[in-house]
Structure 1
Amino acid sequence: IYLGAILSVVAYVFSFPVGTLIATSGVLAIILGLAMQSTLSDVFSGIALNLGRPYAIGDWIVLNDGVEGRVVETNWRSTHLLNGSNDLVVLPNSFLAKVGLTNLSSPDRSHGATLTVRVVPTIGPSAIIDVMRAVLLSSDSILAEPKPGVQIKSLTSDAVELELSFRVKDIGQAGPAKNEIFDLLYRHVKAAGLALARPLDAAGPPPEQLQQEEMAKPHRPTPLKLLDAVPLFSSLTEDEKETLAASMTRRTFKKDAILIEQGDTVASLMIVRSGALIATRQEGHKEIELGRLAPGDYFGESGLLIGVGEAASLRALTFVVVYEIAQASLMPLLHDRPGIAEELAATLLHRIETGQHSFAVEGATLHGRSVSSLVTRIRHLFKVPQ
């Protein structure tokens, strides 16, 4: 009403051509609207995205064109993503409203992942599935619930192809979890006497020839192979390893059997040959999981070398085979070559400082000790002359 009154006054009192003014303003409005089309589209798209809330700050999203990242900011004009290379990706809201996206952080932060592995079928598929389940049970990085699964995808004369599915707490943990699973796959497959199959398109000799070549190689006994994998004994000579291997004892434990109780002092080192173990600590009425052990891992080094009690209980998650080294077996080597005590102490201290120690000692027991103090304890325990 006010605008009409003003235009009437201007037209009749001042004889100004209002029609021309209105026509010109319409053209200007059209030009302005066309110029701001992209901005207005972003504004209204931003309003629609905020009302629909397909994602929130902190969510990891993947677009249909392959762009992915974590949402770090969203405003009236654009949405900012931080990708895996720590680069900032700025996406107009109008673009996000048109392209499809997958929110990897919804409905919760847990994220599913799968791995495919091909194994030479030297044993039955059901036995291979048991090995794969032991791989998943050995992992510290994946969630126990929902339970991880193993499925056979195909079976040929050359390979059994299996798919391992599991979930992690957050999309950011998927990469480290896969790395851990690959390492555990290698260790469990070797421990079970299996071999990984080649890819379908790989060129090379047939699996039968590879197996024959493997069998033709000099056989190395299992105790020696286990000693090779233990950093504590990396400084031993081949003759010393053979002497120690000859004294090792093979022990087996059924599923759910307790290998070590919290607080026990174990006067021997145990190396896991096959199976999976879980380490737990009782704090009041609460049981805390500290980690899991797989083939090639070992425990009891603190009890063996310096007589310190275990700070965790170890329970078998599957049928477990371990090889045991008693203090009496290590004593002759230390008496023949006292310098071994310094090498063992340095390796043990490094494992404690880097967090690789097998749950054997409370932090206050050995934290801050020097190599010389550990050498003194080792020599005193094994009665080695100073």
Structure 2
Amino acid sequence: MIEQLLWNPLLEFSVLVLTTVGIRVSLGRNPTVRFIVSVAFFGLLTASLLSHDITPYSPDLGDHVLSRRITAGLLKSVWWIGAAVVLISAVRLFLIFENKPREGRLAQDLVIGVIYLGAGLALIANVFSLPVGTLIATSGAFAIVLGLALQSTLNDVFSGIALNLGRPYAVGDWIMLDGGFQGRVVETNWRSTHLVNGSDDLVVLPNSTLAKSRLVNLTRPKETHGVSIVVRFLPTQTPSVIEATMRTVLLSSSAILDTPPPSALVVDIDSTAVEIELTFRVAGFSAAGTAKSELYDLIFRHARANGLRLAAPRDMTVLYPEPSGDAHSIKHPGTPWRLLETIPLFATLTDDEKDALASSMTRRTYRKGSVITMQGSKLSSLMIMRTGVVALQRRDNGHLVELARLSPGDLFGERGVLIDAAEAGDTTALTFVVIYEITKDDIAAVMRDRPALAEELGVLLSRRMDDEQHLSNAISTPHGTHPDTLATRIRRLFEIPKDTEML
């Protein structure tokens, strides 16, 4: 009786399953180990079945005992499933595409699907003893009906296979479709592709739509992204002067790449306008918006500083009046006064205060490559950019770090004038530069009448010092960067009472 119990195939099968599970749990999820364990389990199971006269790969039609037929059917089903697991483990282990993980995964999934289908048909033929041919013919008609019902879904699935094989994009790429829609790919699957658009909304597109659309990958073959801007100017200056001004604009920007070098070219001219195309590259597609915003601001400032006037779009007819000047420009025709008028820092000053300040300003010019101030020096005047481009650069451990680039309307020297501190870096002229200088005494005279100016200068200096600290990776700055602290130092240095009313 004990011998019959030990010779029971179900008992052998149970012991074999428990042993296999214990080995797999103890040895972990290594693919090679799992493959070896699966092969061993399948081999032992095959030997056990054959020893009990159970042939798993042929139908059993001679045994009329129900319990034995159920046991044999169960063991045969496990045998075919075990065979499928062995084949699947081999596919996962050996079917690998070097440097092409997506293609390899797709090929594995397709082969595994065929294995599951074959195992299912084998179970039907050898366990349930059903005619597979008749079943296939019947299921063929059913598959046609199901295919028509799922036509859209199957179209998406096969389009997903084609897109995965072709790889026109990958997760993280920015793509543009017909109609100008742009988005960043965050997920791809068999049926759809998920994108995040510029407003951070999730957009789910069926793969069939992507397969039929004209798709532009904005991220490849290089991470950098090219941008073009076309600007129209009234023909008040020669095209070469306008083109040179736009090259200065590109030189002023810190958001665009130096390599490949940006370009400014005259692309069209007529009686109403000169068209200039600015072409440049940025570090990535997401940086294009920031770079364009900065360039638009620089175009306006440089154009105003050089006497250029923007023209209307090509499809608009506009009559431009001759610049006769407003009341301010007639009363205050000098360049210093007009320069103060363009700077928000001095916008709250009255005309008389601007007159007094403008009359004390001194004009300075510097050649390209000239070092205007040295790192560590203290300036006693506030320097306002009239034309040109200036770079602020700091020497840190033998390396030159660019802190900022200044354009018309920007100012520097506020560190020495306001808090008696040394300059954080060298100030170098990248082009021919015109600067207007306001002495510390003249600034002091204005701030005693306008104490609010100390607050605004404190905010300006705080922002400048924070930018310098971030770009140079400094741990701290010697004077602190809090606007209130800086404003207090400015009041103390210029002897401005704390309880003075802010005008």
| TM-score clears 0.5 | yes
- The aligned runs of 1:154-173 (5 Å cut-off) are 154-173=268-287
Aligned to 1:107: 221
* Residues 1:199 and 1:39: Cα distance change in structure 2 (over 3 Å): closer
- The aligned runs of 1:247-286 (5 Å cut-off) are 247-286=360-399
Shift of 1:132: 0.7
Q: Distance in 2 between matches of 1:129 and 1:19?
A: 78
Q: Distance in 2 between matches of 1:114 and 1:53?
A: 27
Check if 1:244 corresponds to 2:244.
no
- The aligned runs of 1:25-174 (5 Å cut-off) are 25-174=139-288
* Residues 1:201 and 1:77: Cα distance change in structure 2 (over 3 Å): closer
* Residues 1:21 and 1:352: Cα distance change in structure 2 (over 3 Å): same
Aligned to 2:456: 347
Q: Distance in 2 between matches of 1:370 and 1:323?
A: 24
Aligned to 1:374: 490
Q: Distance in 2 between matches of 1:19 and 1:50?
A: 34
Shift of 1:84: 1.2
Aligned to 1:15: none
Mean Cα displacement is larger for which, 71-80 or 19-28? 19-28
Q: Distance in 2 between matches of 1:19 and 1:291?
A: 78
Q: Distance in 1 between matches of 2:136 and 2:431?
A: 86
- Alignment RMSD: 3.0
Amino acid corresponding to residue 223 of structure 1 in structure 2 = P
* Residues 1:358 and 1:260: Cα distance change in structure 2 (over 3 Å): farther
Q: Which runs of 5+ in 2 are unaligned?
A: 1-56, 59-121, 497-503
Which residue, 309, 324, 343 being the options, matches 2:422?
Answer: 309
Which residue, 315, 318, 325 being the options, matches 1:201?
Answer: 315
Q: In the alignment, is the contact (CA less than 8 A) between 1:310 and 1:359 conserved in 2?
A: no
Shift of 1:20: 7.5
Q: Identity percentage over the alignment?
A: 48
Aligned to 1:211: 322
Amino acid corresponding to residue 460 of structure 2 in structure 1 = R
Q: In the alignment, is the contact (CA less than 8 A) between 1:110 and 1:169 conserved in 2?
A: yes
Q: How many residues align?
A: 367
Q: In the alignment, is the contact (CA less than 8 A) between 2:444 and 2:494 conserved in 1?
A: no
Q: In the alignment, is the contact (CA less than 8 A) between 1:306 and 1:378 conserved in 2?
A: no
Q: In the alignment, is the contact (CA less than 8 A) between 2:454 and 2:491 conserved in 1?
A: yes
| Bigger share in strand | 1
Mean Cα displacement is larger for which, 265-274 or 26-35? 26-35
Q: In the alignment, is the contact (CA less than 8 A) between 1:45 and 1:97 conserved in 2?
A: yes
Mean Cα displacement is larger for which, 350-359 or 138-147? 350-359
Shift of 1:353: 4.1
Shift of 1:184: 0.9
Q: What is the SS of the residue equivalent to 1:262? A: coil
Q: In the alignment, is the contact (CA less than 8 A) between 2:415 and 2:461 conserved in 1?
A: no
Which residue, 329, 333, 357 being the options, matches 1:220?
Answer: 333
* Deviation by residue 1:215-274 (Cα, 9 ceiling, x = unmatched): 896253211122223344344332222112111111111111111111110110111100
Q: Distance in 1 between matches of 2:383 and 2:464?
A: 19
Aligned to 2:90: none
Q: In the alignment, is the contact (CA less than 8 A) between 2:187 and 2:194 conserved in 1?
A: yes
* Residues 1:28 and 1:215: Cα distance change in structure 2 (over 3 Å): same
Shift of 1:301: 1.3
* Residues 1:28 and 1:162: Cα distance change in structure 2 (over 3 Å): same
- The aligned runs of 1:1-20 (5 Å cut-off) are none
Shift of 1:294: 0.6
TM-score, scaled relative to structure 2? 0.67
* Residues 1:9 and 1:314: Cα distance change in structure 2 (over 3 Å): closer
* Residues 1:117 and 1:23: Cα distance change in structure 2 (over 3 Å): closer
* Deviation by residue 1:166-189 (Cα, 9 ceiling, x = unmatched): 111111121121111111111111
Amino acid corresponding to residue 203 of structure 2 in structure 1 = V
Q: Distance in 1 between matches of 2:254 and 2:399?
A: 19
Of the two structures, which has the highest relative contact order with CA contacts closer than 8 Å and spacing of 6 or more?
A: 1
Bigger Rg over Cα: 2
* Deviation by residue 1:60-102 (Cα, 9 ceiling, x = unmatched): 0011243320001111221100111222111122322232211
* Residues 1:31 and 1:256: Cα distance change in structure 2 (over 3 Å): same
Shift of 1:317: 1.1
Q: Distance in 1 between matches of 2:479 and 2:264?
A: 41
Amino acid corresponding to residue 407 of structure 2 in structure 1 = A
Q: Distance in 1 between matches of 2:146 and 2:333?
A: 82
Q: Distance in 2 between matches of 1:9 and 1:239?
A: 107
